[in-house]
């Protein structure tokens, strides 16, 4: 089979820049952890758009650093945390083991909205200074619960870090950490992963048949691009990667080219998310309201024809909660 090409000409021109940005991100992360014992800050805050692979790059880098003996281990927590659970996580990652730090990854957590959590984080991630009380963490000022934090923190956030919109306690934490803004966009990660999938198909280490490779190429051009454009990957929290393509290859082999899509839960979830996104996009166009209509009634305009939509259709959408009454 001829060499597979998934990237467009424009995407291929952008690929060297995408690879450079990704390598720069990994280098900064690695250098921060290599020099953790001597730097003034023991926490790196990584801010960037959702869907740009921040977590994937961090976890892959940490696995590599663990294998190379630069860190001992890492713990990742995502979602909701309480002061008690955060205190326990700090305690779990507090001490050096064989002279190596354990990294605590706070991935898009809501701890910055809780003052109790912020007080703990400010103590653990305090700027390096002399003295026994430096980076001493206590729970609710109980002196018998304290310990010195020798671990390293990585905070990953999708939110725009704007000091002018922060509370005093949030600003105090920001003052203690090294802030890194990732210049990777969702489009960059799509190009990068498409490049990896190209390499996987062309190297063909899994000995795929020509028709299996063609099935993946067709899937990429007909569905994967559409899923990316409609944010189906982000909506379903399914990572677009070579691993995902390998799962689809397994489905093709086990269920046959004609029926595998109907039997793949992952495929169906992504298709459903794309359909919902398209429906929401069409629905958003309906919200053009003709304010010149007398009385309290709203007249929703079809942007394609410039004429009002059928009232029965609009009332049905209102009853379903799809449009405001």
Residue 105 lies in a domain: yes
Whether 198 is in a domain gets the answer no
Q: At what angle do helices 9-34 and 186-203 cross, to 10 degrees?
A: 100
Report yes or no on 199 lying in a domain: no
DSSP, collapsed to helix, strand or coil, labels residue 88 as helix
Question: CATH number for the domain including 124?
Answer: 3.40.50.300
Domain match, 164 and 218 both: no
Same domain as 91, residue 57: yes
In a domain, 256, yes or no: yes
pTM over 0.75: no
**142 and 71 in a common domain:** yes
Q: Are residues 44 and 116 in the same domain?
A: yes
Burial class from Cβ neighbours inside 10 Å (0-12, 13-18, 19+) for residue 271 reads: middle
**Domain-located, residue 323:** no
The verdict on 98 and 168 lying in the same domain is: yes
> Within a 13 Å sphere around the CA of 236, how many CA atoms are in the beta-carbon half?
22
pLDDT tens, residue by residue, 50-101: 767 788 889 989 999 999 999 999 999 998 899 999 999 999 999 999 999 9
Model confidence at 295, pLDDT cuts 50, 70, 90, reads very low
Sequence-ordered list of residues with C-beta below 8 angstroms from that of 199, at least 6 positions apart, any chain? none
Q: State pLDDT tens for residues 252-283.
A: 999 988 899 999 999 999 999 998 888 777 76
**Total of domains in the chain:** 2
Q: How much is the mean pLDDT over the chain?
A: 85
Domain contains 272: yes
Structure tokens at 11: 């995407």
The top-scoring range by mean pLDDT among 127-136, 154-163, 226-235 is: 226-235
Residue recorded with tokens 């209102």: 318
User: Do 33 and 170 share a domain, yes or no?
Assistant: yes
**Does residue 119 sit in the same domain as residue 217?**
no
**50, 160: one domain:** yes
User: Domain limits at 262?
Assistant: 204-283
pLDDT over 50 at 197, yes or no: yes
Q: Is residue 177 located within the same domain as residue 33?
A: yes
In a domain, 196, yes or no: no
pLDDT at 321 over 80: no
> Where is the domain boundary, 283, 303, 318?
283
């Amino acid at each position: 089979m001829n060499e597979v090409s998934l990237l467009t000409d424009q995407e291929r021109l952008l690929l060297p820049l995408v690879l450079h940005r990704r390598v720069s991100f990994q280098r900064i992360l690695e250098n921060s952890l290599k020099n953790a014992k001597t730097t003034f800050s023991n926490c790196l805050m990584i801010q960037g758009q959702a869907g740009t692979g921040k977590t994937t790059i961090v976890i892959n880098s940490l696995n590599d650093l663990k294998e190379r003996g630069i860190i001992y281990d890492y713990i990742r927590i995502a979602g909701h945390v309480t002061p008690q659970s955060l205190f326990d996580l700090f305690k779990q990652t507090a001490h050096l083991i064989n002279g190596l730090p354990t990294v605590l990854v706070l991935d898009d957590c809501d701890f910055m909205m809780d003052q109790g959590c912020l007080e703990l984080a400010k103590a653990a991630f305090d700027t390096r200074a002399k003295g026994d009380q430096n980076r001493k963490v206590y729970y609710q000022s109980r002196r018998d619960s304290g310990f010195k934090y020798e671990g390293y923190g990585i905070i990953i956030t999708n939110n725009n870090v704007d000091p002018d919109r922060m509370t005093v306690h949030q600003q105090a934490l920001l003052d203690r950490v090294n802030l890194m803004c990732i210049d990777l966009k969702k489009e960059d990660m799509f190009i990068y992963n498409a490049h990896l999938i190209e390499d996987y198909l062309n190297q063909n280490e899994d000995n795929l048949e020509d028709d299996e490779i063609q099935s993946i190429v067709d899937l990429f051009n007909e569905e994967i691009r559409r899923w990316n454009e409609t944010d189906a990957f982000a909506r379903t929290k399914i990572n677009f990667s070579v691993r995902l393509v390998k799962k689809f290859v397994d489905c093709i082999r086990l269920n046959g080219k004609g029926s595998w899509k109907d039997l793949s839960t992952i495929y169906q979830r992504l298709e459903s998310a794309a359909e919902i996104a398209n429906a929401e996009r069409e629905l958003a166009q309906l919200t053009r309201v003709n304010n010149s209509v007398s009385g309290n009634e709203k007249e929703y305009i079809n942007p394609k024809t410039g004429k009002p939509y059928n009232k029965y259709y609009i009332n049905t959408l209102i009853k379903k909660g799809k449009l405001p009454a």
